[in-house]
C-alpha cells in the first residue's frame, strides 16, 4: 500500500515569522491525522525555524532545491549535507520553475537526485510538459525523457517520490482533469515498472498544478495519484489543511 503525501511548496514566499505561524497552524491542524505524510517546503531562510516549530510532530521538512556538490566554491548554493543538518527529510528536485528560470536540465536533475539519495534525503522529482508540448501532442515523450534521464543510474527507487506537474496547470487555476492526470500517472508507473519491476508499485506519484481543497477529492480518487504537491493553496493554513483532510479521508 502506498502512503499518501501532501507537500506544500511555499516557493519564494513568507518571512520567518510568517513561516513559523503557518507551520504552527499546520502542525496543530494535523495532530489527529494518523496515516500519510505531510511535508512543508519553506524557503531556505525559514528552514531552521520551521524545523524547530514542527519538531515532535508528524510534519516533515523539505527544501525546494539543492546543489549536487558536497562543498566548495559555489557561491549561493546549498549542499545536501546542509539540508540534512538542518533537519530536512525531503528535497524537491527539478521543479519546472527551476527548469524554466534557472535552466536546469535533465542531467542536472539526475545529478541532484543521485546526490540527494547518497546524503539520505528523499527526492521529490518533478516532471511535466509545457502547454506548447501538450498542444504538440508530445506529453508522453517529454515525461518519458524526464523520468528516464532523471533516474539514470539510480538503482534503488524506494526513497524517491515523483511529482507529475503539467506546467500549464501550475499557478494558473487550470487543473488537469482527474482522467487527464491519471493517464499520465499510469504512464509514469509503466515507465517505472519497465525500469524497476514490481518495486514501481510502491513508488508515490504526486499530482501538482492548481490543487485546492475543492478539486483534490476527485484527483485523489484515481488509482495512481498518491498525493499532491501544492503551491498557492499551501500558503494558507485552512486551504492546505482542507487538502490534507480530503486526501486522508479517501486513501
Shortest CB 194 distance to ligand PGA, Å: 26
Let me know if 13 is a catalytic residue. no
Segment near ligand PGA (CB under 6 A), from 42-50, 62-70, 150-158, 202-210? 202-210
Closer residue to ligand PGA in complex, CB, 113/233: 233
Shortest CB 156 distance to ligand PGA, Å: 25
Catalytic residue among 95, 97, 133, 185: 95
Query: How many residues sit in the footprint of ligand PGA (CB under 6 A)?
Result: 13
From residue 6 to residue 45, the character string flagging contacts with ligand PGA as x (rule: CB under 6 A) and all else as - is: ---x------------------------------------
**Residue ranges in 125-184 that form contacts with ligand PGA under rule CB under 6 A:** 165, 170-171
Shortest CB 198 distance to ligand PGA, Å: 29
Binding status of residue 62 toward ligand PGA by CB under 6 A: no
C-alpha cell at position 125 = 522529482
What DSSP string runs through the chain? Answer: -PPPEEEEE--S---HHHHHHHHHHHHHHTTT--SSEEEEE--GGGHHHHHHHHTTSSEEEEES---SSSSSS-TT---HHHHHHTT-SEEEES-HHHHHHS---HHHHHHHHHHHHHTT-EEEEEE---HHHHHHT-HHHHHHHHHHHHTTT----TT-EEEE--GGGTTTS-PPPHHHHHHHHHHHHHHHHHHHGGGGGG--EEEESS--TTTHHHHHTSTT--EEEESGGGSSHHHHHHHHHHHHTT-
CB 188 within 8 A of CB 127: yes
From residue 214 to residue 243, the character string flagging contacts with ligand PGA as x (rule: CB under 6 A) and all else as - is: ---------------xxxxx----------
Closer residue to ligand PGA in complex, CB, 171/197: 171
Let me know if 165 is a catalytic residue. yes
Closer residue to ligand PGA in complex, CB, 182/196: 182
Shortest CB 213 distance to ligand PGA, Å: 12
Shortest CB 104 distance to ligand PGA, Å: 14
Closer residue to ligand PGA in complex, CB, 8/80: 8
Instruction: Give every CB contact of residue 141 below 8 A, 6+ residues apart in sequence.
Output: none
CB 131 within 8 A of CB 167: yes
Positions that interact with ligand PGA (CB under 6 A): 9, 165, 170-171, 208-211, 229-233
User: Would you please indicate which residues are annotated as catalytic (active-site) residues?
Assistant: 95, 165
Amino acid at each position: 500500500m502506498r502512503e499518501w503525501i501532501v507537500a506544500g511548496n511555499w516557493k519564494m514566499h513568507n518571512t520567518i515569522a510568517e513561516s513559523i505561524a503557518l507551520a504552527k497552524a499546520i502542525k496543530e491542524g494535523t495532530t489527529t491525522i494518523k496515516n500519510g505524510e505531510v511535508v512543508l517546503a519553506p524557503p531556505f531562510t525559514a528552514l531552521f525555524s520551521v524545523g524547530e516549530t514542527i519538531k515532535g510532530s508528524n510534519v516533515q521538512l523539505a527544501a525546494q532545491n539543492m546543489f549536487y556538490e558536497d562543498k566548495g566554491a559555489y557561491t549561493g548554493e546549498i549542499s545536501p549535507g546542509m539540508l540534512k543538518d538542518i533537519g530536512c527529510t525531503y528535497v524537491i528536485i527539478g521543479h519546472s520553475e527551476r527548469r524554466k528560470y534557472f535552466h536546469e536540465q535533465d542531467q542536472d536533475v539526475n545529478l541532484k537526485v543521485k546526490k540527494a539519495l547518497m546524503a539520505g534525503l528523499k527526492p521529490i522529482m518533478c516532471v511535466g510538459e509545457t502547454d506548447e508540448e501538450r498542444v504538440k501532442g508530445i506529453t508522453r515523450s517529454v515525461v518519458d525523457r524526464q523520468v528516464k534521464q532523471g533516474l539514470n543510474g539510480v538503482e534503488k527507487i524506494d526513497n524517491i517520490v515523483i511529482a507529475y506537474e503539467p506546467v500549464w496547470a501550475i499557478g494558473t487555476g487550470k487543473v488537469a482533469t482527474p482522467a487527464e492526470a491519471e493517464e499520465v500517472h499510469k504512464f509514469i508507473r509503466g515507465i517505472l515498472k519497465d525500469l524497476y519491476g514490481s518495486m514501481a508499485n510502491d513508488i508515490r506519484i504526486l499530482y501538482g498544478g492548481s490543487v485546492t481543497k475543492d478539486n483534490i477529492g476527485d484527483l485523489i480518487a484515481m488509482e495512481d495519484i498518491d498525493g499532491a504537491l501544492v503551491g498557492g493553496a499551501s500558503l494558507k493554513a485552512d486551504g492546505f489543511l482542507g487538502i490534507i483532510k480530503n486526501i486522508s479521508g479517501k486513501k
